[in-house]
């Protein structure tokens, strides 16, 4: 199932949607992929420094995992091709212009942008301008 790769169509039809859940990024030293599955991570990535986890804030709190910031997720509803060129650059560039940090995770179907919780509504507004 091939996604869209035309950058103009991706930007026009990306339909950003703000998720209501709060998320955090945690790291666990000396962990392996699959560790902490009981915390139900949304995403994980094994780095040389440790296992990075993206967790619902309430899950991180329940398991007493430390984190430094609270984020909201904006999902781009357009089905983007994994080899599409320019979507991440356009989105992060526009957020950068508005002084909003962006942590982007690409899934098979959609791109997910984690922004500081306090900037989420502004970020959604900024991204919605692409399809106007």
Q: What is the pLDDT of residue 3?
A: 87
6-45: pLDDT as tens digits: 889 898 889 999 999 999 999 999 887 887 888 999 999 9
Q: Tell which phi-psi region holds residue 64, choosing left (phi > 0), alpha (psi between -120 and 50) or beta.
A: left
Whether domain 7-131 has CATH 3.30.2130.10: the reply is yes
**Domain boundaries defined on the chain:** 7-131
**Both tokens assigned to 62:** 């329940």
Alpha-carbon gap, residue 2 to 95, rounded angstroms: 27
35-58: pLDDT as tens digits: 788 899 999 999 999 999 999 999
With H, G, I as helix, E, B as strand and everything else as coil, classify residue 106: strand
List the beta strands (DSSP E) in the chain. 16-28, 43-47, 50-56, 71-76, 103-106, 111-116
Q: Does the pTM of the predicted model rise above 0.85?
A: yes
């Amino acid at each position: 199932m091939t996604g869209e790769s035309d950058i103009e169509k991706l930007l026009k039809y990306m339909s950003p949607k703000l998720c209501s859940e709060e998320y955090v990024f945690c790291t666990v030293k000396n962990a392996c992929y699959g560790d902490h599955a009981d915390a139900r991570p949304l995403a994980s990535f094994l780095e040389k420094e440790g296992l990075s986890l993206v967790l619902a804030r309430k899950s991180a709190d329940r398991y007493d995992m430390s984190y430094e910031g609270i984020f909201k997720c904006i999902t781009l509803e357009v089905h983007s091709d994994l080899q599409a060129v320019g979507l991440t650059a356009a989105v992060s560039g526009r957020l950068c212009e508005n002084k909003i940090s962006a942590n982007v995770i690409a899934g098979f179907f959609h791109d997910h942008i984690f922004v500081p919780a306090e900037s989420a509504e502004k970020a959604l507004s900024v991204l919605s301008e692409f399809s106007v």
